[in-house]
Amino acid sequence: MGRSGDGLIAEDNRPMANETSSVTIFHNPACGTSRNTLALIREHGIEPQVVEYLKTPPTKARLKSLVQAMGVPVREVLRQKGTPYDELGLGDPKWTDDQLLDFIALHPILMNRPIVETPVGTRLCRPADLVLDLLPKQ
C-alpha cells in the first residue's frame, strides 16, 4: 500500500477511505438500487465500509443513531415490500418508534436500503443518485 496525495492507495490503485472520507453503506447486494449506490460511491474514488446488514444486522442503538442522523421518522426507514411488515401489523399506528426499532433489529429485512453515512450526512439513498449530495465534490 502506498500514499498518493492525502489518500491511501490499495494494491488495485483504488483510493481507500480514510478518516476524512469515511463512508459506510448499509448494503443488500440483491438490491439494484443498493448496488448502483455502491458503484456511485466507488466512482468517486471512495472505498466505503460495506455493511451487509442482512448478514451483520445493526444493533437497535445503531439503528436509532442512524435514524436520528437522518432526521426522519423511523417509519421512513421501514421497508414494506418483500418483508414481514404486513404479517407483523407494522402499518398500525399503535407502534412507537422504539418498538419499530425493535422490529427492525429482530428482522433486518425491514430496514430500507441503502442507507449511506458520510461526514457530510446520513440518508436513505433511493434513488441511488441521492448519494451524490453526501460525497465530496470531484
Stated as kind and residue range, the H or E segment containing 25 is: strand 24-27
Place of cell 445493526: 58
Place of cell 465530496: 136
Residues marked active site are found at: 31
- Burial string for 85-100 (b: 16+ CB within 10 Å, else e) reads beeeebeeeebeeeeb
Quick one: CA torsion of 1, 116, 36, 136, rounded to 10 degrees?
Answer: -60
